Amino acid sequence: MDPQLEIISNCQNSSFNYKFDTNLWTVWHFHPEIDILLNLKNNGHFICGDHLGDLKPGTLLMIGSDVSHGLQTNDPEDNDPENPALIALQFSRKSLGEELLSKPEMSAIRKLFSDCSRCIEFTGSTRDTAEKMLWEMDKMNDAQKFAHILILLDFLANSPTEDRNYLVSPNFSQNLNSTSQTRVNKITQYIMANLTRQISLGEAADLVNMSTKSFSRFFKKSTGKNFVQYVNELRIGHACRRLFETNDSITEVCYDSGFNNLSNFNRRFLEIKNMSPREYRQEYCKQVGG
């Protein structure tokens, strides 16, 4: 089942859309706007790109532009306007203003917008403070809300790394240092073109004319992962796509994704996705109605 494009009309003629929804967004969909979503009362699951996560009261997500997503509840939905299910804040770079975002003071927020292409779940004290800030907006006029959005974004942009969980695999959308974009994109494209065979560290280093030692340092700094971790994530991300886009067997998906034995594939999949390939396929199909 393909995700549906949603047109958020409020962001066509306004800087943002701030609203309370009485039910969760069960339809698998995407849109150009960035979402900041605070789940208020339901337990269930959410899907962002290739990630399946647990949804509980207080879950706070920032979902990047054009990333497919949906939220499913295990609880009966009551459509109660006095007890909403979700606070949603939606905006895009265009709606906020590219000229404003180009200012030097906005550099951390621009980085946050790049980071959220992999979707972020905020936790800890960051989540607690952001929740209060989202509730406070309800009593503000539009001008105050706009100013408050910038304060909220700056707060999230400067939050500690331990309060951020990046959810989507790198091959769904890249989270890369801009100065390293070309090199890492070249490496990523090479890996994806050669998924079915082993790729050595030396081979990747040669691709960008670096020594293996320099390449290891560069790659860790640019992606936050060592080369083997990154390759495994790309392979598992590819496997996720195969699991929900095809009816191929688990074994076929394993070899198509570059793993040379099923037990290693299952082990790596469990490490990265916290579930088996079979469980992932079952959960994904359930979430999107497939």
pLDDT tens for each residue of 44-66 = 888 888 787 888 999 999 999 98
pLDDT bracket for residue 238 (50, 70, 90): confident
Residue 26 one-letter amino acid: T
Q: Is 151 in the same domain as 215?
A: no
Instruction: Give a yes or no: residue 151 inside a domain.
Output: yes
The pair of structure tokens assigned to 75 is: 């609880």
State whether 247 and 210 are in the same domain.
yes
Confidence at residue 120, expressed as pLDDT on a 0 to 100 scale: 97
Candidates 165, 191, 172, 185; CA nearest to 245 is 172
For position 262, which CATH number holds? Answer: 1.10.10.60
- 50 and 151 assigned to the same domain: yes
Domain region containing 100: 4-166
Residue 233: in which H helix or E strand, if any? Answer: helix 227-245
* Per-residue confidence band for 286, with pLDDT thresholds at 50, 70 and 90: low
Whether residues 278 and 237 fall in one domain: yes
Residue-wise pLDDT tens digits, 163-205: 999 998 766 544 444 455 578 768 877 887 888 888 899 999 9
Number of domains the chain contains: 2
At residue 82, the pLDDT reads 80
Predicted structure pTM score: 0.67
Q: Are 187 and 142 members of one domain?
A: no
Helix (H) or strand (E) holding 219: helix 212-223
Whole-angstrom distance, CA of residue 22 vs CA of residue 31? 20
pLDDT at 130: 98
Q: What confidence score (pLDDT) does residue 272 get? A: 84
Question: Per the domain annotation, does 173 fall within a domain?
Answer: no
Which residue has better confidence, 107 or 219?
Answer: 107
